[in-house]
C-alpha cells in the first residue's frame, strides 16, 4: 500500500512539472531562399580527397594541386535567374566542365546540386546548407565505379567572393 501511495505521489509531481512548460510564442521568421543563397561567385579554398573504403576514413588535403601561388584559384559562378553556371580554372582538374545549367533536388532544403553541360551530368552533394548570409559552400563529388562501388570522395570547399 505504501508503494502505491509513493508511486501516485511521484506521478502527480511529474504531472505538475510537465504541465508547467512555457507556451511557445513568437514567429520563427520567413524562410530563407536557399537558391538565392547559392547564387553568386564562389572561389575554391581547399580540395580534400577521402577514401570511403579505408577503415580509418583517411582524408588527404590536396589543395596544392588547385591553389598554386600566382595563379587565380578555381571559381564557379551560379546564376540563379537563368539557372546557369560557369567555371574559371587555371590549375587542377576541372570536374565541373566550363559551363552549363544547374538545378537542386529540393528548393526548400537542397542536398544535391546537379550540374549539366553538353557532355556530362554531375551530381554533387552539398556539404552544408547555403543561405544568403552564408559565405562558405562545400561540394562533394562521389566517384563511383560502373558496378556502383564508391571508390573516392572529392570535397571542394568554396568561399563567396
pLDDT at 11: 75
This prediction's pTM: 0.77
CATH number at residue 102: 2.40.128
* Residue 146 confidence class, pLDDT cut points 50, 70, 90: confident
The two most distant CA atoms of the chain are separated, in Å, by 84
* Residue 81 confidence class, pLDDT cut points 50, 70, 90: very high
* Residue 32 confidence class, pLDDT cut points 50, 70, 90: confident
21 falls within a domain: no
Q: How far is it, in rounded angstroms, from Cα 113 to Cα 115?
A: 7
56 falls within a domain: yes
The per-residue pLDDT for range 42-78, each reduced to its tens digit, is 999 999 999 888 888 889 999 999 999 999 999 999 9
- Tell me, rounded to whole angstroms, the distance of Cα 152 from its chain centroid: 17
* Residue 20 confidence class, pLDDT cut points 50, 70, 90: low
3 falls within a domain: no
61 falls within a domain: yes
Q: Which one has a higher pLDDT value, 132 or 137?
A: 137
Listed residue (73, 70, 75, 93) closest to 85, CA to CA = 75
pLDDT at 147: 75
Print the domain residue range for 132. Answer: 35-160
Using DSSP's 3-state secondary structure scheme, residue 6 falls into helix
Q: How many domains does the chain have?
A: 1
pLDDT at 149: 73
User: What's the DSSP call for residue 113?
Assistant: E
141 falls within a domain: yes
pLDDT at 21: 67
Q: How far is it, in rounded angstroms, from Cα 71 to Cα 60?
A: 22
Does the pLDDT at position 137 exceed 70?
yes
Residue 92 makes CB contacts below 8 A (sequence gap 6+) with 47, 65, 66, 74
Would you say 62 and 47 are in contact if contact means Cβ atoms under 8 Å apart? yes
Q: Bridge partners of 113?
A: 104, 124
9 falls within a domain: no
Query: CA distances (Å), 98 to each of 74, 76, 90, 95, 110, in order?
Result: 11, 9, 12, 9, 23
14 falls within a domain: no
Query: What is the residue-averaged pLDDT of the chain?
Result: 88
87 falls within a domain: yes
* Residue 151 confidence class, pLDDT cut points 50, 70, 90: confident
% of the chain with per-residue pLDDT over 70: 94
Amino acid at each position: 500500500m505504501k508503494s502505491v501511495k509513493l508511486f501516485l505521489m511521484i506521478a502527480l509531481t511529474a504531472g505538475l512539472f510537465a504541465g508547467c512548460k512555457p507556451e511557445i510564442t513568437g514567429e520563427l521568421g520567413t524562410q530563407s531562399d536557399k537558391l538565392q543563397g547559392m547564387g553568386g561567385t564562389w572561389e575554391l579554398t581547399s580540395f580534400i580527397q577521402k577514401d570511403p573504403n579505408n577503415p580509418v576514413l583517411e582524408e588527404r588535403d590536396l589543395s596544392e594541386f588547385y591553389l598554386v601561388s600566382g595563379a587565380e584559384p578555381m571559381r564557379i559562378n551560379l546564376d540563379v535567374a537563368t539557372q546557369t553556371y560557369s567555371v574559371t580554372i587555371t590549375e587542377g582538374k576541372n570536374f565541373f566542365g566550363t559551363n552549363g545549367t544547374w538545378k537542386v533536388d529540393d528548393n526548400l532544403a537542397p542536398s544535391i546540386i546537379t550540374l549539366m553541360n553538353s557532355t556530362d551530368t554531375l551530381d554533387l552533394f552539398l556539404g552544408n546548407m547555403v543561405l544568403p548570409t552564408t559565405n562558405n559552400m562545400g561540394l562533394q563529388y562521389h566517384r563511383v565505379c560502373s558496378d556502383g562501388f564508391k571508390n573516392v570522395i572529392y570535397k571542394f570547399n568554396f568561399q563567396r567572393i
